[in-house]
Structures are given as structure tokens and as C-alpha cells.
Amino acid sequence: MSPESVISETNEIKIFSGSANKRLSKRITDHLMIPLSKITLKRFPDSEIYVKIEENVRGVDTFVVQPLCRPVNENFVELAIVIDALKRASAERVTAVIPYFGYARQDRKTSGREPITAKLIANMLVAAGLDRVLTLDLHSDQIQGFFDIPVDHLTAIPLITNYIKKKNYLNAVVVSPDLGSVKRARKIANMINVPLAILDKVREEPNVVSRMSLLGDVQDKSAIVIDDMIDTGGTIFKAIEAIFKRGAKNIYVYVIHPVFSEPAPENILNLNVSQLVTTDTIFIDKNYDNVKVLSIAPLLADAIKNIHQKKSVSTLFDKHY
């Protein structure tokens, strides 16, 4: 751990954890060499959420780590209540560290009489008293504009790219599993200097992929599939099938957010790939022999430190972890 990662004057900053990913919160504070601040989180018999800040936060720069993962609604309400508790306790600033932003796929109207739920979530967090957001690899970049407060949008691409370079895959090709992931996949392909292939998928309904076509060559190559998340796994499993049919020698899957909704957890156990690599934005409560988890804690810790010390966060975009 480098000395520059340590925050001095720890009485001026406190980091709290919600219930969603306490392990990540502890890794962040360990990296910063400060204790995780004390908070009580309980559920009443009727499932209402009770929160109490167990430390003095008057005039303190506070951060709350809480991905909006399953159970999404409960974790969101808990985050809003913690924000409210901190503001009522006279915290100087409250920053929500949201490694995975739930509802990000509901960022626009695709047909009449639909909500734009991602915007609603942003409005509700600001109404709760939130001052700033620190998040990672939003499903849609434009969600940053849904907030009327500062948003620091980090990416795990350098972390993933650095890991790929260390693996030194032979005759590799980066594959985007859909058109929405092309920008991310092309950036990684350029960083590791390999060609890009693109799968074009057709959906009949949400989370159900009916067919795929491939643009590019994967014959006898090591295919590196890049996506922002695995939810039910429909896209990735169809992509793997399509890539193998077109002659790929090996497949390595890289996703940033391990949402792992059913039936993904069971299918991942039998996933026909050499390795699945993801990050700890969401806590994985099962052990998988074929899954490698990279920690984004150092990246988030450095961002928290820079925000607290009023330094640039963009300098972290190309830093290798």
C-alpha cells in the first residue's frame, strides 16, 4: 500500500457502508488506512428500515458505499435513508459511492406511457439530500446528466485491460456481444492492439435474445468477450454459442458488474468458457471455480481521496490498478 493513498486528518472524512456490499466498503477503507465508520442498519418486523449514525459527523465530509443491486428497491431506500440521516446530523457533504447503478437500463422511453426510471432515482436521491455521486461504468453515460449535482463517472476498463495484458492471450480478438457494447470493446481492443468483432443480437422481449449475427473473424482465435454486466446471462450465453459456432478456439468473458440474476448463477457453474472475469462492484455470494474477481476498491479509494482533497478525479481514468 503506497503512502500517498493514505488520507491524513481522518477526523474530517468518514466512510459508511450500506448493507449491499460491506466487503467492498471494508476494502476501500483498508486501502485508505482509515476505519469504516459505525452505523446501525436494522429491519423492523414489518420490513421498515431503521438507520442510526453512530459517530459525530457534524461538519464532516461523508461517503456512503451502496451499490443498487438486488434487492434493488430495498438497497435504494436504505441509501436514501442513510443520506437523510447524515444530512440531519449536519454532515458537511454527503457523497454516494454507487459502484453499480440499478435502474440504469430504464434511461429512456421505448414506447408510450413508460417512465424514465433512472431519472426518477436520480431525483429522489437528490431530494434526500445527496451532494455528490461517485459511480462506475453506467449502462448509459447520459445518466450523469440526470443528476443536478456533480457526478464522477469512473471506469474499470484500465483495470480489466491491465489484467488482459498480463494473461497475454495468443491470436486474440475482442468481441462485443451487442451493438451497445461496441464503444467499450473497441477501446479495449485498441489498448491491447487486437482486432474487434461485433455480435448483432435481436431481442423478442427483455432478457430474451432470439438470434445473433457476427461481424468479424473469430476462427481459431482466443475470443475476449467484453460487456458491462451479466444479469440473467441471456446475452453472454447466446454470444458464447455463436462464437464457438464460428470456430473460436477459446473464449474468455469479461464483465464489470456481476448482477447474476436467476438463472445466471446456476448456468455460470457450467459455463463453457476458459474463464469469466468480473469485479466486486456487487457482492457475489457463491464460489465459482471459473470466475475471477478483480477488486475496484483501490480505484474507488483513490477517487474518494481525491474528492475529499479537492483534487482531479479524471487523472485516475488511465491509471493501472
Catalytic residue IDs: 201
- Give just the sign of the alpha carbon dihedral 212, 217, 219, 221: negative
DSSP 226-277: EEEEESSSHHHHHHHHHHHHTT-SEEEEEEEEE---TTHHHHHHT--SSEEE
Q: How many CA atoms lie within 13 A of 320 on its CB side?
A: 7
Q: Which three cell numbers stand for residue 207?
A: 432478457
CA distance 23 to 40: 16
Grid cell 460487456 is found at 227
What are the counts of helices (DSSP H) followed by strands (DSSP E) for the chain? 8, 14
| DSSP-based three-state secondary structure for 52 | strand
Query: Any alpha helices (H) in 104-156, and if so which ranges?
Result: 117-127
Lookup result for grid cell 472524512: 13
Dihedral of CA 158/180/73/130: which sign? positive
For the chain, give the longest Cα–Cα distance.
61
